Structure formats: C-alpha cells, structure tokens
Chain A
Amino acid sequence: EVQLVESGGGLVQPGRSLRLSCTGSGFTFGDYGLSWVRQAPGKGLEWVGFNRGKPYGGATQYAASVKGRFAISRDDSKSIAYLQMNSLKPEDTAIYYCSRHLSDGGSCYQNWGQGTLVTVSA
C-alpha cells in the first residue's frame, strides 16, 4: 500500500525557518515526482512546488508565492522528501500536504499524505 507521511509542522515565529519531511513507503520512491500542496484555514488548495523525480528530469519548480523562500529536496535512498521553508510569513500558515505524481510522470496527485499543520505567528 502506498503511504506518504508528513512531519515537522508546528508553531513558528515570522521570519524563522522550518523543515517539513515526507516519508514514502509501498512504492519505489525515486521513480515518482512529488509535490507539496497547502491549504490555509478556510481557503482552497494551493500548489507550493514540485520535484519531478529523476526519471522525468528531476526539475524543481515553485509557486510565485514561495519562490526564493522555500526549497524542495529529496533523498531517494531514504524515501524522504523535504520542504525547507525560510523567511516564514503569517500567510504561510496552512496544512501542508505531500503528494505523489502519476506513474506516467503527470504532475497531478494520485496519493496524498495526511498533512502537517504549520502555524506562523508571534
């Protein structure tokens, strides 16, 4: 069974950093692209960024709202992906989901983790 588990969320002050982790199991982690998607309180889903995975070129892209502050990395040998979040703002408060792309490389989200809550507040 495919599973994704996010961790690392919590309360952080504005301007500080936080690193989220996404641990995968039940599939060959390195064969898939991965995305981070967030949902702010009372709002809709927002794409944060993706890494396409080595079979699909390994490119990483970010939404304009986080570009230059957030960075996605992955350690395929450990089946873990990371979202490094720097210079956090109150508007980054959200549930952050890790999601796995389709097996054909299409960057829509076939599997999701349960999410981890990040709260940015003084």
Chain B
Amino acid sequence: DIQMTQSPSTLSASVGDRVTITCRASQNINIWLAWYQHKPGKAPNLLIYRASSLESGVPSRFSGSGSGTEFTLTISSLQPDDFATYYCQQYNTYSTFGQGTKLEIK
C-alpha cells in the first residue's frame, strides 16, 4: 500500500501570508496527486488534480507542484475563507489520503 505523509499537521498563519503544505508518497506516484480543502460540516472540495492542474472555479492563489514522491500545495496570499483542513490524495494505485493539515488563524 502507498502511504501519504503530510507536513505539518497543524499550521498557524495570518491573512496575507504565503503558506506551503508538503505531501510525501512512500513510492513513486508520478503526477497522480490531488489536493482538497475540507471545512467542518461540508463536503471536501477539489483544489488541484494531476499534481498541478487547478480545478475550475478554484482561486489562482492556490497552486500545486511536484512529481514522483514529493509534492507541495501553496497558497500565495491567505484569505479568511482559506482556514480549513487540507488533504492530499494519491490516485496512482487505488487511493490513499494524507492525514491532513489543519490551517489555523494565528
């Protein structure tokens, strides 16, 4: 099974900050990685697929990069609506989620 490890588990930041979340795969997953935003009581929301493709309707301050085993999600300038939990997901072999990164207001 492919394991996905996100870091950090919790991130404290302020509006306007640039933040980066990292996701590492236990084996090569090429570019088959997605990122989701999840808020309490709501369904998760797809942000990025194929490691760096921005889903339609998602603000351009979100970007993804990486391939192989190392990936990053970057939010260029945090907005109040961005405070949520973020998950990576590999879909190279079946599917696995990372454990999540909770983005909190500093």
Given the known A-B contacts A44-B97, A112-B43, are A106 and B38 also in contact in the complex, defined by CB atoms under 8 Å? Answer: no
| Chain A interface residue count, Cβ-Cβ cutoff 8 angstroms | 21
A50 and B91 CA atoms in complex are apart in Å by: 11
For residue A113, CB closer than 8 A to chain B, the reply is yes
For residue B83, CB closer than 8 A to chain A, the reply is no
Question: Quick one: CB contact mask for A93-113 with B, threshold 8 Å, 1 for yes?
Answer: 000010000100011111011
| Chain B interface residue count, Cβ-Cβ cutoff 8 angstroms | 23
Given the known A-B contacts A45-B87, A106-B50, are A35 and B55 also in contact in the complex, defined by CB atoms under 8 Å? Answer: no
For residue B26, CB closer than 8 A to chain A, the reply is no
Q: Which of A29-57 contact B (CB under 8 A)?
A: 35, 37, 44-47, 50
User: Which of B55, B87, B97 has the most C-beta atoms of chain A within 10 angstroms of its own C-beta?
Assistant: B97
Q: How far does the Cβ of A58 sit from chain B's closest Cβ, in whole Å?
A: 15
Residues from chain A with Cβ under 8 Å of B96 in the complex:
47
A112 and B43 CA atoms in complex are apart in Å by: 6
A30 and B49 CA atoms in complex are apart in Å by: 22
Check B49–A64 contact: CB distance below 8 A.
Answer: no
CB-CB nearest in chain A for B6: A44
Question: Quick one: CB contact mask for B67-106 with A, threshold 8 Å, 1 for yes?
Answer: 0000000000000000001010101001111111000000
A113 and B44 CA atoms in complex are apart in Å by: 9
For residue A24, CB closer than 8 A to chain B, the reply is no
For residue A84, CB closer than 8 A to chain B, the reply is no
Given the known A-B contacts A97-B44, A108-B34, A109-B36, are A50 and B95 also in contact in the complex, defined by CB atoms under 8 Å? Answer: yes
For residue B46, CB closer than 8 A to chain A, the reply is yes
Extra contacts besides A35-B95, A47-B94 (5): CB < 8 Å: A47-B89, A47-B95, A63-B94, A108-B49, A108-B95
10 contacts between A and B (CB under 8 A): A37-B97, A44-B99, A44-B100, A47-B89, A47-B97, A97-B44, A107-B91, A108-B95, A109-B34, A109-B46
Binding site for B on A (CB under 8 A): 35, 37, 44-47, 50, 61, 63-64, 97, 102, 106-110, 112-115
